[in-house]
A and B are shown apart, each in its own frame.
Chain A
Amino acid sequence: MDKAAATHLTGFTLNNAPVQVEARVGERLSQALRDRLGAKDVKIGCNAGDCGACTVLVDGAPVCACLMPVQQAAGRSVETLAGLAKADPDALRLKESFQHHQAAQCGICTPGMMVSAVALLRAVPEPDVAQVQDALGGVLCRCTGYRKIIDAVVGAHAADTLQESTQELGAPARRFDGLAKVEGRDLFGDDVAPDGALVVRVIRSPYPHARFTFGDLGSFEARPDVVAVLTATDVKGLNAFGVIPGFIDQPVFAVDTVLFRGEAVACVVGEADAMLAFDPADFPVIWEPLDALMTVPEALQGGAPLVHADRPGNIMCGGFVACGDADAALAGADVVVDGFYETSFVEHAYIEPEAGWAEVVDGRLHVQACTQATGMDRETLAQVLGMDRADIRILPTAVGGGFGSKIDVSVQPFLALAALKTGKPVRMCYTRVESMQSTTKRHPARIDIRVGAKADGTLTGLTFHGDFNTGSYASWGPTVANRVPVHASGPYFIRNYRAQSRAVHTHCPPSGAFRGFGVPQSAIAQETAFDVLADKLGMDPLEFRLKNALHDGQPTVCGQVFEQGVGIQACLEALKPAYDQAKQACATFNAENADVKRGVGIAGGWYGCGNTSLPNPSTIKAGLRADGTLVLHQGAMDIGQGSNTVIVQIFARAFGVPVADITVLGADTDITPDAGKTSASRQTFVSGNAARLAGQALRAQVLQQANASDTAEITLNGGHLHVVDADLAHAVDLSRLEADAEGYVLKAVETYDPPIAPLDENGQGIPYAQFGYAAHLCVAEIDLKLGRITPVSFTAAHDVGRAINPLLVEGQVQGGIAQGLGMALMEEFIPGRTENLHDYLIPTIGDVPPIETLILEIEDAHGPYGAKGLGEHVLIPTAPAIFNAVYDATKVRLMHAPATPARVRAALKEAGYV
């Protein structure tokens, strides 16, 4: 049988213009639109109908372009965001409203959201919340928590009345990179490769643990559809990557043995159409499956085989913090609560799968991909390729969500090796299944906790032991192991404390960085144990927390004393009005309902910003050109959280001009200095400080030119720089200054590295220069008969030191809560079982209830203009707040996340509910 795919000529109208494509039989409409017609505004998140990113209108009805064969579009009208955004009246309103409400964060879901919303608005010009939830229910967003998207669509009809805020520091300014996102012009990892680039496909292990041998690679490589094959022998440098010195252990291509399902053993490179038709089962590899350790208890059992021969007991590393005498304190406590908690693998599930392209330009390697860490990507590639880092340029694309996993490399080494071997431009985009199988996950945790208090409610001691399933390779496992013991006390004053963590190897995918580095897991145990303790003491949970909240001047469990800036008490107090009201409302509801009950839960949280006791610098550069152009080299990766906006707002304030006067460049390792990775809630704090320093330094140089004082005002007007000091205006003629090689007549390059000190063997020291603080309140409803929990509302109090941009703060909070909700109630990655977005469920627009954000500003001496980091704090209290709400409603303790109906029913049954 001839299996060569036939092609069909298909004609339809695309955004009102007639088009024709010669596409393979059965080719997805989405692919024909993107690859044959250049419609990169149609995004691909899953190719399975699960995410809705590919939504287009066909004869006016929104459909998933990824499930429609292009031949079915014949003769129809197809509309996409890029077309609609030009002239469709509803799309124009949505554009305005989406920006105003910050309904686009990373922007990868935005085309799907907006196209679906256009169809809704055409039918219902002023929809209510429920109608929006229904119409947009098929589009997933991992960043925003959906509420701002709902606001934007509900409010779209009034778009022309929206007032744009100023852009200065502290104002709820629209994102500066927002317009491209709402017009479908933002380019992500899979949107930038040149036409005709070769495609790279990865051959992966179908087994969690196996030995393998290759068959005849030579004749395989000689196949007409194959341009090149890559295996470990093509790796000229070190066949290993990783992120923590001493733990660089993950091979680019496995040699002889694979340690997780989805591990790469080879790549095949070929022309795009050939690689689409290519069946990986044809690749000559012979597998010999071996027994696999899939859980921590299996891996810790005496005699268990070692995942890595040099890591005895399968223990990769651990962390430890102790102060006082925890055992004695618990022995002497009036009330003690203990418990064993379990959490599951959580998948980042950003809507943009890993993607990018590479080419060799004048002997230098260019790699453009979605990433959270351009500098680290370059280091890794230099090491893997055995190349000088100066010969490697990393150019990020817009990033369609990262949440930690895009700090590690994924496609980059494959692209680099393929570009070098073929000498041609090469591209690749992970399938959703590949992305889920092979990239890092949140660590599943097994936690034993004991907490004791005096009868008056004073916490006396806490012990904590956490084993974290770190999977097959190190990734950020050591960071999780270090961070957890420092944070497992929560933001409370505890004199006697001992916390230990271990990162345990298994044959699971590597666990790595995911918003919170292990702290969301430990917070579930600690914050829910607190409620049981408060209950036993007969105390109100909020009062109990207020009584024990850490204050300025009190040592943390690491012995670190903050003289200022501790904001947990303020967060808890801010919840008080909502708490009292919610308690009342729940009592009324419960009096009227038998099978469903409502409860109120509170949880606190804290998070140290930046690396734990390790150097963590960021550098920002800025310069003035002779023509008066003020340029900011901004290398902090914006993965949706808003660095492209916040860093500019800070710099503008420091230099003393409006944002509009600044030209922003970057990120690009050739032109922006290293601003470090976008992780650990560090960009606003660390890169923000570097931007502040750079702005101040450049300002000082300008003022010096004019001999003006510190309080002088700088204006940049059409290339003319004026300094007004005490009512005296000086024109500064920049053209008389000499320009450097980059064309700058004045330039500042400033680095900020937070002041920290190493931890001793008891974890005592200065792990972070600042913490951010948070407390969440959740009202949740539980169906006692069916075991289903649904959050009804959240109130989130966040101490951010100083809200550089309150709109972005709310965006982080709402998005974080959605992820916390998912972790609490539905998300469970099981290798081989939930490797797509219909078996692995993330919250939809219907799952996230209204969220009220209370922004508190307890300024921090180290933060830029007092600001503290925020990105990870936002989800730490969420899951325990939900569980505490269930406890409030039922007195049933949920100790296994996610609390699916099966688990909740089991817990209810055990507690005596029928």
Chain B
Amino acid sequence: MNLFDYLRPASVSDAIAAWQPGAAYLGGGTNLVDLMKTGALQPGKVIDIARLPGLDRIESLPDGGTRIGALVKNSVLAGDPDFAAAFPMIAEALASGASGQLRNAATLGGNLMQRTRCVYFQDPHSACNRRESGNGCGALGGDTQNHAVLGWNDACIATNPSDLCVPLAALDAVVETQGPNGRRDIAFADFHRLPGDTPERETALEPGELILAVRLSSNAAASYQNSRYLKLRERTSFAFALVSAAAALQLKDGRITEARLAIGGVAAKPWRVPAAEALMLGQPPDTDLFRRAAAVALEDATPSGNNGYKIDLARRIAARSLALAAAGTPTRMPALPASVFGESAHV
């Protein structure tokens, strides 16, 4: 760790003013400190934003929407009863991620910005276009169990690991930012980027731009009775998703009036396919329908290595999350959030 400067600015504008190339914002540190240890990230300056005033609130907006400050801890957000009632699948996704200790430290902004878990990215000895453009991709042709089956190219096959981002994508969240050029809103669909020609740019943030908050509309809360996040992992708890899905439905008179589906663990961003959602509109909820929707969502999937099995699994997780959403949001958070197994299997 060759860090030589640490600042704790008093305001958002001070923080942005303090930013310079090579600097990094520090939220809870759970991702940044780890990457600094492995050498994957070597910021010369750390700007500690954890105590910036005003960014740690969950607010109801006059238009019925909700605004979550970038510094709200993952555990606080998941545990807020009003928030969890309105956005149960966000709470479930949060509660299924990492561990209690980490959720107590991790912030909303940090979670959105967490880097890929690609082991070649984390190992400074491996080639990686994300760490350094033009360097090559160590994962390609290597072990690709955790890599993408959608939206990848030869430059980078990494996935976005966040659980939280999957329901945020499904619910069309908006990311509020402030940067050297002022404030702006970024639609969630545009926030994370596919590798394209610039695999080193994971998000739409410009250099020095800071996340202030995430907004959810009142319509996003309208599916609260029928939404679910499901996550397949290799162990029961405290593991990243192999694949995951967030499904939210609005039902009226036995028909689907709105359908939202985002799939995690399959691409560099949560994957949404409008055609898959459109296909469900006006239909009665039915497992066969959900299977067809999931198939459309995964239509373009191709393995980026020895990970073809993920396509099947993603399809099934997607279909199952839709079916569970249709069956109704559980009245309380499951003991093991987002688990594919029933309650009785775990205690």
Residue ranges of A at the interface with B (Cβ–Cβ < 8 Å) = 1-6, 8, 24-26, 28, 47-49, 52, 55, 61-64, 66-69, 71-72, 116, 129-130, 133-139, 206, 276-277, 279, 596, 781, 783, 785-788, 790, 792, 825-826, 830, 832-834, 838-839, 841-847, 849-850, 900-902, 905-906
Interface of A, helix, strand, loop or mixed by DSSP = loop
B235 CB contacts on chain A under 8 angstroms: 825-826, 841-844, 846-847
Q: When A68-B29, A902-B145 are in contact, do A788 and B34 touch as well, CB less than 8 Å? A: no
Query: When each residue 142-163 of chain B gets 1 if its CB lies under 8 Å from chain A and 0 otherwise, what string results?
Result: 1101000000000000000000
Contact of A787 among B50, B313, B344, B347 (CB under 8 A): B313
A825 CB contacts on chain B under 8 angstroms: 234-235
What residue of chain B has the Cβ atom nearest to residue A843's Cβ?
B235
Q: When A72-B50, A133-B347, A830-B143 are in contact, do A67 and B236 touch as well, CB less than 8 Å? A: no
Verify A49–B100 contact, CB threshold 8 A. Answer: no
Verify A786–B46 contact, CB threshold 8 A. Answer: no
A849 CB contacts on chain B under 8 angstroms: 345-346
Q: Does B183 contact A (CB under 8 A)?
A: no
Verify A786–B232 contact, CB threshold 8 A. Answer: yes
Q: Does B99 contact A (CB under 8 A)?
A: yes
Contact of B100 among A1, A137, A783, A788 (CB under 8 A): A137
- How far apart sit A781 and B346, CA to CA, in the bound complex (Å)? 10
A596 CB contacts on chain B under 8 angstroms: 341-342
Contact of B102 among A67, A69, A786, A850 (CB under 8 A): A67
Verify A833–B143 contact, CB threshold 8 A. Answer: yes
Min Cβ gap A836→B in Å is: 8
Contact of A52 among B99, B117, B236, B340 (CB under 8 A): B99
Min Cβ gap A537→B in Å is: 31
Verify B105–A790 contact, CB threshold 8 A. Answer: no
Min Cβ gap B148→A in Å is: 15
Instruction: Given A846-B238, A847-B235, A901-B242, output 17 extra A-B contacts at Cβ < 8 Å.
Output: A5-B3, A48-B34, A49-B98, A64-B30, A64-B101, A68-B29, A68-B33, A71-B6, A129-B347, A133-B336, A133-B347, A134-B335, A786-B317, A825-B235, A841-B235, A844-B238, A846-B336
Verify B347–A25 contact, CB threshold 8 A. Answer: no
Contact of A788 among B2, B50, B312, B341 (CB under 8 A): B341
What residue of chain B has the Cβ atom nearest to residue A206's Cβ?
B125
Count of chain B residues near A, Cβ 8 A: 59
- How far apart sit A699 and B307, CA to CA, in the bound complex (Å)? 67
Min Cβ gap B252→A in Å is: 28
Verify B4–A48 contact, CB threshold 8 A. Answer: no
Q: When A25-B6, A844-B235 are in contact, do A838 and B102 touch as well, CB less than 8 Å? A: no
Min Cβ gap A73→B in Å is: 11
Verify A26–B6 contact, CB threshold 8 A. Answer: yes
Verify A5–B312 contact, CB threshold 8 A. Answer: no
Min Cβ gap A781→B in Å is: 5
Verify A847–B98 contact, CB threshold 8 A. Answer: no
- How far apart sit A56 and B117, CA to CA, in the bound complex (Å)? 26
Q: List 15 A-B contacts (CB under 8 A).
A: A6-B6, A25-B5, A48-B34, A48-B37, A62-B100, A62-B101, A64-B105, A67-B28, A130-B335, A136-B100, A781-B345, A838-B240, A843-B236, A845-B237, A850-B347
B142 CB contacts on chain A under 8 angstroms: 833
Contact of B236 among A8, A64, A846 (CB under 8 A): A846
Verify B236–A847 contact, CB threshold 8 A. Answer: yes
Verify B316–A69 contact, CB threshold 8 A. Answer: no
Query: When each residue 308-321 of chain B gets 1 if its CB lies under 8 Å from chain A and 0 otherwise, what string results?
Result: 01001100110010
- How far apart sit A845 and B309, CA to CA, in the bound complex (Å)? 28
Verify B29–A72 contact, CB threshold 8 A. Answer: yes
Verify A277–B1 contact, CB threshold 8 A. Answer: yes
Verify B340–A69 contact, CB threshold 8 A. Answer: no
Verify B4–A138 contact, CB threshold 8 A. Answer: no
Verify A69–B237 contact, CB threshold 8 A. Answer: no
- How far apart sit A129 and B344, CA to CA, in the bound complex (Å)? 12
- How far apart sit A172 and B42, CA to CA, in the bound complex (Å)? 53
Residue ranges of B at the interface with A (Cβ–Cβ < 8 Å) = 1-6, 8, 26, 28-30, 33-34, 36-37, 39, 44, 46, 48, 50, 75, 98-102, 104-105, 117, 119, 123, 125, 142-143, 145, 232, 234-240, 242, 309, 312-313, 316-317, 320, 335-336, 340-342, 344-347
- How far apart sit A244 and B19, CA to CA, in the bound complex (Å)? 59
Verify A5–B50 contact, CB threshold 8 A. Answer: no
Q: When A72-B50, A905-B312 are in contact, do A138 and B236 touch as well, CB less than 8 Å? A: no
B1, B36, B232, B235: most-surrounded residue (chain A CB, <10 A): B235
Verify B101–A783 contact, CB threshold 8 A. Answer: no
Min Cβ gap B85→A in Å is: 19
- How far apart sit A826 and B235, CA to CA, in the bound complex (Å)? 7
Verify B99–A26 contact, CB threshold 8 A. Answer: no
Contact of A72 among B48, B313, B340 (CB under 8 A): B48
- How far apart sit A6 and B3, CA to CA, in the bound complex (Å)? 8
Verify A67–B105 contact, CB threshold 8 A. Answer: yes
Verify A826–B119 contact, CB threshold 8 A. Answer: no
Min Cβ gap A913→B in Å is: 11
Q: When A67-B30, A826-B235, A905-B313 are in contact, do A790 and B346 touch as well, CB less than 8 Å? A: yes
Min Cβ gap B164→A in Å is: 16
Min Cβ gap B335→A in Å is: 4
Contact of A49 among B101, B234, B239 (CB under 8 A): B101
Min Cβ gap B234→A in Å is: 5
Min Cβ gap B206→A in Å is: 24
Verify B143–A69 contact, CB threshold 8 A. Answer: no
Verify A134–B100 contact, CB threshold 8 A. Answer: yes
Contact of B341 among A55, A790, A830 (CB under 8 A): A790
What residue of chain B has the Cβ atom nearest to residue A279's Cβ?
B2
Q: When A830-B143, A901-B242 are in contact, do A47 and B105 touch as well, CB less than 8 Å? A: no
Q: When A67-B33, A788-B232, A844-B236 are in contact, do A25 and B4 touch as well, CB less than 8 Å? A: yes
What residue of chain B has the Cβ atom nearest to residue A845's Cβ?
B237
Verify B105–A63 contact, CB threshold 8 A. Answer: yes
A3 CB contacts on chain B under 8 angstroms: 2, 4
- How far apart sit A792 and B102, CA to CA, in the bound complex (Å)? 27
- How far apart sit A532 and B101, CA to CA, in the bound complex (Å)? 45
- How far apart sit A137 and B180, CA to CA, in the bound complex (Å)? 41
What residue of chain B has the Cβ atom nearest to residue A431's Cβ?
B37
B4 CB contacts on chain A under 8 angstroms: 1-6, 25
Q: When A5-B3, A138-B238 are in contact, do A69 and B26 touch as well, CB less than 8 Å? A: yes
Verify B341–A137 contact, CB threshold 8 A. Answer: no
A844 CB contacts on chain B under 8 angstroms: 235-239
Verify B50–A901 contact, CB threshold 8 A. Answer: no
Contact of A792 among B3, B33, B345 (CB under 8 A): B345
Contact of A8 among B6, B145, B309 (CB under 8 A): B6
Min Cβ gap B313→A in Å is: 6
Verify A277–B336 contact, CB threshold 8 A. Answer: no
B5 CB contacts on chain A under 8 angstroms: 6, 25
The 10 closest A-B pairs by CB, nearest first: A138-B99, A846-B237, A130-B335, A846-B236, A25-B6, A138-B101, A61-B104, A26-B3, A847-B236, A902-B309
- How far apart sit A206 and B3, CA to CA, in the bound complex (Å)? 24
Min Cβ gap B25→A in Å is: 13
What residue of chain A has the Cβ atom nearest to residue B320's Cβ?
A785
Verify A826–B29 contact, CB threshold 8 A. Answer: no
- How far apart sit A378 and B12, CA to CA, in the bound complex (Å)? 60
